[in-house]
Amino acid sequence: MSNEENTTKEINLKDYQLHEGDTGSAPYQVALMTQRILSLTDHLNTHKKDYSSRRGLLALVAQRRKLLDYIKKGDEKKYQEVIDGLGLRR
């Protein structure tokens, strides 16, 4: 009945680490946020009136957007790699 199986996308976070144990770089954080956004989106498809989770989702999307702008400002090639790897549109 739930459509979680066909909408969840596995993101390999190790692809976005700059070195082993990296958890703070911007590409890694964007990948982690994308994973959380996909999870929240699935949750909200099931629970349409969960407005507090919707607010958290919007905050995550805004934060991811800021990090992507930061990456783009620093390195256009890295920005394209992150967007293509995560399947984001922009």
CA–CA separation, 85 and 59 (whole Å) = 22
What is the average pLDDT across 47-65? 97
For 45-61, the DSSP string reads HH-TT-HHHHHHHHHHH
Question: pLDDT value at position 10?
Answer: 82
Q: What is the pTM of this model?
A: 0.86
Predicted confidence (pLDDT) at residue 8 exceeds the cutoff of 60: no
Q: What is the CATH number of domain 24-86?
A: 1.10.287.10
Q: Sketch the domain layout of the chain as residue ranges.
A: 24-86
- What's the mean pLDDT when you consider all of the chain? 90
